[in-house]
């Protein structure tokens, strides 16, 4: 898979909301090497400005491609990505993971 590199002069990770990187140093994160980490954080915890920034930096096709391979997405984020990508929810890796890791019954 041949990915287009993100223009780091134009798009800065520091422009994303600081709460997205609460547990890591933003200086250690790379647009290209950590695309799945960034996409997952924005889908789960980001604001609309964060979504617009990653959409401009990566493009919708790359976000769709990355989201299909994520191990976890909340039901809300999974539904959003299924609608945007035109894919069935069952095609997402996180859906399969959820089926494999069902919790115990609550009595």
Domain residue spans of the chain: 13-100
Burial label, 38 (beta-carbon count in 10 A; 0-12, 13-18, 19+): buried
Share of the chain above pLDDT 70, in %: 88
Higher-confidence residue: 8 or 29? 29
What's the pLDDT band for 98 if we cut at 50, 70, 90?
A: low
Give the residue carrying structure tokens 């790379």.
30
């Amino acid at each position: 898979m041949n990915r287009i590199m993100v223009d780091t002069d134009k798009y800065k990770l520091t422009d994303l909301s600081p709460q997205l990187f609460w547990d890591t140093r933003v200086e250690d994160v790379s647009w290209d090497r950590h695309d799945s980490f960034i996409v997952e954080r924005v889908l789960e915890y980001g604001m609309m400005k964060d979504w617009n920034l990653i959409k401009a930096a990566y493009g919708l096709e790359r976000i769709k491609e990355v989201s299909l391979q994520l191990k976890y997405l909340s039901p809300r984020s999974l539904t959003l990505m299924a609608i945007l990508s035109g894919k069935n929810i069952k095609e997402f890796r996180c859906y399969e993971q959820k089926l494999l890791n069902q919790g115990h019954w609550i009595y």
